Amino acid sequence: MSSRNERALTGLQDRPAPAAPVHLTRAERVGLPSGMAWGILAVIVFVVGDGLEVAWISQFFTTAVHIPLSEAAWIVTAFGIVVGVTSYAVGPLCARFGPRRVMAAGLIFWVIIDAAFIGLALPTGNYWFILITYALRGTGTPLYVFAFLVWLDARAKAGQEAGTQAWFWFAYTAGQIIFGNVLAGYLVPTLGPIATLWIGLGVALAGGLIGVLLVRDSTGQGTQRTSENLGKAFEEALTIIWRQPKVGMGGLVKLINLGGIIAMGVYYVPYITGVIHLPLGLAILSFTFLGIAAVPAMLFFGWLSDRIGWANTVQWIAAPISAIAMVALFLVPQWVGPNFLVIVLLMILLGLGNAAFVPISALVPSIASNEKVAGLGVINLSTGMAALLGPAAVAVILPSFGFAGVAWGLGIAYVVAFALMFYVQLPGRARTDAHVTSTLVAVVRPDATVNTGSK
């Protein structure tokens, strides 16, 4: 028996015995654990408030606060660094204190910092005061939203992890890309940037309170601690990348998934307006269709991947579609000109490819086996770092290789993700976590039988 399969089977044997079959609610049949619907609403509302300024804050710093563009870029960069570091800290913090406590503490800290940024830092115009307070606002999404993701993942039923994760990414993407942009587009011209920021604080606070006060979890997973040693939890979260290389490679696939979309958002509007001569308003509007396609598709691909396999969905649907769409968005407009309909169709294709990556967030923690929280921390880190590394990739490639270099570079990155998925697999190349036990038993102990059930 190979030592790898032996360790995997041992980890499976350490899991709680399967529970007797129970009646599933309508929400549970589509992957949403009972009592967690309020949390999904909380994520949508919080993300809208927390990210209400993302699309226009850099311009605001330069035009209203009179900070040079190069210095404003460092403010946004500092924000991205804090998001990345805090995202990685969420797993150990949840292991030590429980997700609900981390969400509550994160909400309180974020509200204080955001109020200081709007009410104290911006009126002074002091660069360092603005940089520090705005950067610390980057703790909001990780400590509140990603802590809820840890909680949600702990409640997922075996074989439904991707469907459950899809609900989270549905909420996160809908709040960030669709509702947040629509609300900001109305509020900024109507009430002005400062009033919009205060409204964002109120919206985020409302969402935060929904999650902290209204989510009901009879299983106790929201307050359960999985580690009594915070230092050890941080060490495990840091070292799992090389102790379990599949987890690290899975995190790289997630980074390519989100970093590619963010990088595309940085370079594509200047390309499609400056080279193809599509009007600016239509260029920005085309991104809305990407989000409209991706948000509902996440639920579909979460459901589909629980049936055809998490790795299969990422490798054979998500990566190829994303690679083709990314390159086509660069090439096709050169052939057809500023054809808005064609560009929208390609944006929808890219949105579908992006949505099909949802199962990677279930696959990586399951590969981590007994260290699922640390595995989920790798996903959180990749999500946070994508906001920093996506624009950085454009900044490095564009000056030397132009728009073509960026487009082909992003397309190749998705091909790399495709290749990595040959390695990022569950034991025995099982389709989902629920199939791991029977697959391993067939490989390791052909004469044995093992029952599987909901966790």
- The answer as to CATH 1.20.1250.20 being correct for domain 230-450 is yes
For the stretch 39-86, pLDDT in tens is: 999 999 999 999 888 878 877 888 889 988 778 878 888 888 898 889
Return d(Cα 90, Cα 70) in angstroms, integer.
31
pLDDT of residue 123: 96
Enter the pTM of the model: 0.79
Report the 3 state secondary structure along 168-224. HHHHHHHHHHHHHHHHHHHHHHHHCHHHHHHHHHHHHHHHHHHHHHHCCCCCCCCCC
State the 10-residue block means of pLDDT for the chain, 455 residues long.
Answer: 48 44 66 86 95 82 85 85 88 87 95 97 96 94 91 81 88 87 86 95 96 81 61 77 92 95 86 89 84 91 91 97 98 95 96 95 87 83 85 88 95 98 88 60 46 42
Using CA atoms, how far residue 29 sits from 156, 175, 358, in Å, is 11, 24, 18
**Residue 455, pLDDT score:** 40
Q: What is the pLDDT of residue 13?
A: 46
pLDDT of 122-133, one tens digit each? 999 999 999 999
Nearest-angstrom CA–CA distance, 325 and 143: 33
**Domain coordinates of the chain in residue numbers?**
30-228, 230-450
The class that CATH gives domain 30-228 is: mainly alpha
Do 30-228 and 230-450 fold alike per CATH? yes
- Spatial distance between the Cα atoms of 3 and 7, rounded to a whole number of angstroms: 6
pLDDT at 357: 96
The confidence score (pLDDT) of residue 177 equals 79
Residues ≥6 apart with Cβ < 8 Å to 309: 430, 431, 432
- Max Cα separation, the chain? 74
Beta carbons within 10 angstroms of residue 133's beta carbon: 22
